[in-house]
């Protein structure tokens, strides 16, 4: 059993059993995902943060926030599992850095949903996130 599998299973149980939130199917489109406020997402996540993994060339790019759409996960994954579990683009570029986001300070979210060609859980941030949502002013390096 991998740590990423266990972390994802525990997130699934927290969302479905504790919070009573259905995780949308892998095949669900963005338009099918339930919209919610950051406060609603924070409540269903029970104080957990959202993680936005970044490409090496994105380091420092979002430290003031971003109005562009983003995807984030509540699940801390082992560095070797980040790309396949989240089915990230540019799979040849390892994601060794992550931003910690406070969902309560994000204006709007959609989700959660299972990642279509991955194994993780994701939330869509259609209007991005503000600087106030960033827990730490810089990315955390994973090892």
Domain residue spans of the chain: 3-141
Using pLDDT thresholds of 50, 70 and 90, give the confidence band for residue 127. Answer: very high
Closest CA to 118 of 3, 5, 2: 5
Using pLDDT thresholds of 50, 70 and 90, give the confidence band for residue 2. Answer: confident
Full-model pTM: 0.94
Cα separation, 98 vs 63, in Å, equals: 11
Using pLDDT thresholds of 50, 70 and 90, give the confidence band for residue 137. Answer: confident
Closest CA to 113 of 35, 3, 4: 35
Mean pLDDT estimate for the chain: 94
Cα separation, 45 vs 14, in Å, equals: 8
Using pLDDT thresholds of 50, 70 and 90, give the confidence band for residue 140. Answer: very high
Cα separation, 140 vs 120, in Å, equals: 20
Cα separation, 123 vs 132, in Å, equals: 18
pLDDT of residue 119 exceeding 90: yes
Q: What per-residue confidence (pLDDT) applies to 42?
A: 97
Give 37-91 pLDDT, tens digit per residue. Answer: 999 999 999 999 999 999 989 998 899 999 999 999 999 999 999 999 999 888 8
């Amino acid at each position: 059993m991998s740590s990423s599998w266990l972390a994802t299973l525990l997130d699934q149980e927290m969302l479905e059993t504790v919070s009573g939130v259905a995780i949308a199917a892998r095949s669900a489109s963005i338009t099918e995902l339930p919209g919610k406020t950051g406060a609603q997402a924070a409540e269903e996540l029970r104080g957990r943060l959202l993680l936005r993994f970044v490409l090496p060339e994105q380091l420092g790019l979002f430290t003031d926030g971003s109005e562009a759409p983003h995807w984030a996960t509540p699940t801390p994954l082992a560095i070797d599992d980040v790309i396949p579990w989240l089915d990230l683009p540019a799979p040849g570029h390892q994601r060794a850095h992550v931003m910690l986001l406070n969902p309560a300070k994000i204006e709007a979210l959609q989700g959660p949903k299972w990642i279509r060609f991955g194994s993780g859980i994701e939330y869509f941030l259609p209007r991005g996130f503000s600087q106030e949502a960033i827990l730490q002013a810089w990315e955390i390096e994973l090892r």
